[in-house]
Copies of this chain bind each other. A is one copy, B any other.
């Protein structure tokens, strides 16, 4: 065990690898909705001063890049042995899961511009799945655009809701209903009364409704995009 013969230089001392730092940062971000940890908090958790982190990362953005790539690495790639629609269903669900498990991630995505390997691998696999499903390059591009937009947008809205459990839903909907001037917003009022208070407004199902609609539309347009 002490005779390191690996190709990596085999660090000499406390060996604080980038991977450990990023994993810790993700774990900290997931704990209690405090969002992305500060350098000082991250250092604390690692038993290190904040400034020591700058020995491993030139600046904080590089840590954020790593965090995003770690999230992407958790998303299942579309299985190659399934029809493209089923494969897309799986990876879409997995993507929504990952973004929900790490609520801070989607807020970060639009500020990252350097995709990591896991991110590239993910996109590559998605395109590959579509192409072997019979989509042209243009078609794959359209399909990926609609699908990703939907998944990001849906999750963004889902995460912005002021409650977490489905139990809290009725309370919130109720208090909104009380404050809302019903004469001014009759349609909104009606929908909240019908959908919100019933309590059966499951987000998982809602996600699948939209996803199914989009997949059907893609199948219909598949041959047309050249």
A83 CB–B CB distance under 8 Å:
no
A215 to chain B, nearest CB (A): 9
Tell me which residues across on chain B come within 8 A of A106, comparing CB atoms. 110, 156
Known A-B contacts A154-B153, A213-B221, A214-B213; A191 and B145 likewise in contact (beta carbons under 8 Å): no
Contact B140 A191 (CB under 8 A): yes
A168 CB–B CB distance under 8 Å:
no
From 24 to 51 in chain A, residues with beta carbon under 8 angstroms from any chain B beta carbon are none
Known A-B contacts A110-B160, A123-B188, A188-B127; A213 and B153 likewise in contact (beta carbons under 8 Å): no
Q: What 0/1 pattern do residues 102 to 133 of A give for CB contact below 8 A with B?
A: 00001101111100000011011101100100
Contact A109 B188 (CB under 8 A): no
Stretch at the interface among A3-11, A56-64, A179-187: A179-187
Q: Considering only CB atoms and an 8 Å cut-off, how many residues of chain A contact the other chain? A: 55
Q: How far is the CA of A138 from the CA of B195 in the complex (A)?
A: 8
Q: How far is the CA of A149 from the CA of B207 in the complex (A)?
A: 10
Tell me which residues across on chain B come within 8 A of A180, comparing CB atoms. 120
Contact A154 B149 (CB under 8 A): yes
Q: How far is the CA of A214 from the CA of B209 in the complex (A)?
A: 12
Contact A210 B160 (CB under 8 A): no
A159 CB–B CB distance under 8 Å:
yes
Contact A128 B213 (CB under 8 A): no
A20 CB–B CB distance under 8 Å:
no
9 tightest CB-CB pairs across the interface, nearest first?
A153-B153, A149-B153, A152-B153, A110-B160, A213-B217, A146-B210, A127-B187, A124-B185, A149-B154
- Residues of A that sit less than 8 Å from B by CB: 106-107, 109-113, 120-121, 123-125, 127-128, 131, 137-138, 140-142, 145-146, 148-154, 156-157, 159-160, 162, 180, 184-188, 190-191, 194-195, 201, 206, 209-210, 213-214, 216-218, 220-221
